[in-house]
Amino acid sequence: MKLIVFYSLVILSLPNVSCQSTQPNSNNIAMNNKDSFEIQKTDEEWKAQLSDFEYEVLRNKGTERPYSSEYETLWDEGIYVCKGCGTELFESKTKFDASCGWPSFYQSIDKKAIKEILDTSHGMVRTEVVCAKCGGHLGHVFNDGYNQPTGLRYCINGISLGFKKKEK
């Protein structure tokens, strides 16, 4: 009985592995330097522009609850942009259903639109993804494939995004 309780506690204490990786995806990972972004605003300016929760995720590296984003199930054609500065980040044609609870993409519009940063928080080694223009936290990128063309999964907080629907 004690062994069953022990294993149950171990399993319950494991983090959700659907959005974590054991190693970074790229050899070109930068350290976070807030001064290296084109858009520089004070905390007060960001707080005036963003809702409290948008600020928590974009500026403090928070995370929204899985399956809570309107963009998790949005399949319209268009462009996903940074909520902080409007930079175009992902095309809808690169979005796929990874069933991890967050909008997932297999590539960004332009490799220069995002920046990858080594993230060793929460006892994991991951690759954080931020907007290259304003430094807003978007989520993480994983190399778990999901049979996508690049073998990557950009697991992005929907609260960090805006959406520009393609006009017909």
117 is written with which tokens?
A: 């940063």
Place of tokens 């979005």: 95
Residue 100: active-site member? no
92: Cα separation from own chain's centroid: 15
Among residues 85, 131, 134, 155, the one annotated as catalytic is 155
| Four-point Cα dihedral 118, 106, 162, 88, nearest 10 | 80
CA distance 49 to 107: 28
| E strands in the chain | 78-82, 88-91, 95-96, 104-105, 114-119, 126-131, 137-142, 153-156, 161-165
Phi and psi angles of residue 105, each rounded to the nearest 5 degrees, phi first: -135, 150
Which residues are annotated as catalytic?
155
